[in-house]
Amino acid sequence: MSGNINLDFSLLKKLTQAYGPSGNEKEIAGLIMGYSKNHVDNVETDILGNLIIRKKGRGKRIMIAAHMDEVGVIVTHIDNNGYLYFSAVGGLNEAGLLARRVMFSNRCYGVIGRERKESEEEKSKGKYFIDIGVNSEEEARKMVREGDMAILTGEFVENGSHIISKAIDNRLGCFIALEVLKNYQGEDDVFFVFTVQEEVGARGAKTAAFAIEPDLALIIDTTISYDTPKEKYRTSLNNGVAIKVMDRSIIVSPVIKNWMIDIAVKNNIVFQSEIISAGGTDSGPVHLTKGGVPTGGIAVPVRYLHSGSEITTKLDIESAYRLLSELLKNPFAS
Amino acid sequence: MFLKELCELDGVSGNEKKVREYIIEQLKDKADDYKIDKIGNLIVRKKGMDGNILGVPKVLLCAHMDEVGLFITEITNDGFLKFQTVGGIDPKILVSKTVVCGNEVPGVIGSKAIHLQKPEERKQILSIEELYIDIGAVSKEEAENIVKLGDYVAFASRFERLGSGFNKAKALDDRAGCSVIMQILNNQYRCDLVGAFTVQEEVGLRGSKVISNYLEADLAIVVEATMAKDLAETFEEEWIVELGKGPACSLMDSATIYNPELIQKVAELAEKLDIPLQFRRGTTAANDAGNIHQAGRGIPLITLSIPCRNIHTMSSLIAMQDYENCLKLVHSILENIQVFCSNT
């Protein structure tokens, strides 16, 4: 590490703690707009809610994308006693939901509960509900209505070299993109896109890429860290930024992947590979846009993804920041 | 209203021609023009009135023409037809139902008679492989004279009125939506209308994928039929929608998260005009909205559904008041189009 990187982790704290489940990313977009307004030429929000921030230049059209949304739950029914029934928004692990706290956009809090007397078979179907501490439907409706979404809460803590918080997936990507944006000095026409609805199938990135028609796209996201006490053989914490090779939605062109690896090696940036067989990312729809877009992905390994208690490390964050900065200094030419 | 005629036409996914021709016949004198695209979607256009210099908003109205059904995959030596399902069909509903194969050949779905079944067989659910269609042929040759491999099979089911205000039919999903949009296209509004009657929704939203490549709009309204489970033995939180409580506005399904501000506008308009409205309280299944909202740079969109019991069967059931209220709500949205196309 070159050691003189000075990332503003208080910004990461604000971003992770804000509310933004898929389809409800306005609060995050507002924060990002606030932080970037002195550094950019043009800001727009498209129909789906993607925030597109442009640093105009004469060179290549480069799209840097990070998704703003986080997993959550959506209220589908309010019963007579004021209990809220819900569905998952994005890939939530239902088994881990019992007694978790959730928060709505209006800062109404609830706790996830479940019937105690159900048979084991019924329990496995996960008949969970949200308890917001009211006694009637009428009382509940003063705070919540059908269609409202809530997110899992999870405080931001800096544990020495590690960070624990909710929504590191993918406010961390937004954070890195914002830090790179602030320091960008190049000549290219760079579109920093903060996308919506990645967690439900990478929907926002599709319309954004269609509108921008980039010459090159780089997606920054988080990825599963596989290191548990007995397994350390795949993408792991503290092994640096992960360069995407493949996920369920993309096979990165070897030319792009090798360009990224070369830049990492030249600049002594510690890196590893991201190869996952489950789960897609924004890189999926982006690389298939129109006649095809050269697309690469960089990802920061995170433990306990989608849990509200995600763990990442400053070493990996800094290497991701450095790689993205260096990639922009030497953009891929086809 | 076109509902009875539409439901009694056969149009299993990929074979929507009869439905398309009926819609064209009914609308060709009311609309400005129509075209059929290469996959078979029917696009009907109707200009708005009072277009000012800046033009009027363009609204896309979408319903799918296709219905679930069967497809002949084998003709046995005895002249029976083996088949596969097209779209989501529960094999449990098929035994001993009447069907129409290929070119209007009537048939029944057979299986072993109860007398011939062993006690344990009576408890088992028959799989598709154990069922066959009997068209009264005594040999393979006789069967091959009237049907061929790849012929479609549709449920034989008449449109009937039940009780004081319910209608039973096959294919209410989504001929009910087609019928609503056809009625709307008889009117003129202060916006340009594009009626998109799509193909192959039931096999994975395929027709709407194609229209998403070339249609643009300021607002899209998908009109659907959706599953009601308002039965006494299920918990209220699992009902999804209820018959008689008005059209259902979708919140989220497996292909779309609906814009909260647009949902709010629909709810406010319905309340102001005293049109009953419910929310679709389930998040599974998908419809053409999944493709349309991601079309091009994105299209603001809502889905309104008519609640339907026994959906994807030959005996689907809707409440006519829900149909009428759905029609009224779509009409009212178009009458108040400036509210919906202002800041989106």
Q: Where are the alpha helices (DSSP H) in B69-212?
A: 119-123, 140-146, 172-184, 206-211
Closest CA to A218 of A264, A257, A268: A257
Q: Are strands B105-110 and B98-101 parallel, antiparallel or unpaired?
A: antiparallel
Range B3-67+170-340: architecture per CATH: 3-Layer(aba) Sandwich (3.40)
CATH 2.40.30.40 holds for A72-152:
yes
Distance from CA of A203 to the nearest CA of B (A): 7
Whether the pLDDT of residue A1 is over 60: the answer is no
A102: Cβ–Cβ under 8 A, 6 or more apart, which residues?
A72, A73, A109, A110, A111, A112, A130, A150, A151, A152, A153
Using CB atoms, which residue from A48, A74, A129 is nearest to B298?
A: A48
**Strand partners for B250:** B280
Q: Is the pLDDT of residue B60 over 80?
A: yes
Q: Does the pLDDT of residue B173 top 90, yes or no?
A: yes
- Tell whether B258 is within 8 A of chain A (Cβ): yes
CATH number 3.40.630.10 is the correct assignment for the domain at A2-70+155-329: yes
Q: What is the pLDDT at residue B52?
A: 60
Q: Where are the domains of chain A?
A: 2-70+155-329, 72-152
Res. B53: pLDDT tops 80: no
Confidence of residue A334 (pLDDT cuts 50, 70, 90): low
pLDDT mean over A206-219: 97
The pLDDT of residue A120 is above 90? no
- Range of weakest confidence among A16-20, A198-202, B44-48, B127-131: B127-131
Give me the pLDDT at residue B239, please.
Answer: 80
The predicted-structure confidence for A274-284, as pLDDT tens digits, reads as follows 999 888 899 99
Domain boundaries, chain B: 3-67+170-340, 69-155
**Residue A117: pLDDT band by 50, 70, 90 thresholds?**
low
- What was the pLDDT predicted at A2? 47
CATH architecture of B69-155: Beta Barrel (2.40)
Q: Point out the residue among A24, A79, A210 whose CB comes nearest to the CB of B260.
A: A24
Q: Using CB atoms and an 8 Å cut-off, which of residues 79-108 of chain A contact chain B? A: 79, 85, 87, 89
Do residue B298 and residue A47 have CB atoms under 8 angstroms apart? yes
Of A334, A322, A218, A208, the residue nearest A265 (C-alpha)? A322
What would the pLDDT profile of B190-228 be if each residue is shown by its tens digit?
999 999 999 999 999 999 999 999 999 999 999 999 999
Angle at B261 between CA B256 and CA B264, to 5 degrees: 100
pLDDT digits over A310-324, tens only? 999 999 999 999 999
Has residue A3 got a pLDDT over 70?
Answer: no
Nearest beta carbon to residue B251 from set A76, A200, A206? A76
Q: Is the pLDDT score of B147 beyond 60? A: yes
Q: How far apart are CA B218 and CA B298, in angstroms?
A: 9
Would the pLDDT of B344 be above 90?
Answer: no
Selected residue with higher pLDDT from B205 and A1:
B205
Average pLDDT, stretch B166-185?
Answer: 97
Q: Which residues of B are catalytic?
A: 201
Please give the average per-residue pLDDT across B152-181, as a whole number: 97
Residue range B245-255: mean pLDDT, rounded: 96
Tens digits of per-residue pLDDT, A70-90?
A: 999 999 999 999 999 999 999
Please state the pTM of the whole predicted model: 0.93
Shortest distance, CA B277 to any CA of chain A (angstroms): 12
> With DSSP H G I counted as helix, E B as strand and the rest as coil, what are the percentages for chain B, rounded to 5?
30, 25, 45
| pLDDT over threshold 50, residue B135 | yes
Distances from the Cα of B238 to the Cα of A145, B29, B124, B273, B341, angstroms: 17, 44, 27, 28, 34
Per-residue pLDDT, A126: 55
User: Could you tell me the pLDDT band of residue A119, with boundaries at 50, 70 and 90?
Assistant: low
Residue of B nearest to A146 (CA): B279
Mean pLDDT of A145-165: 96
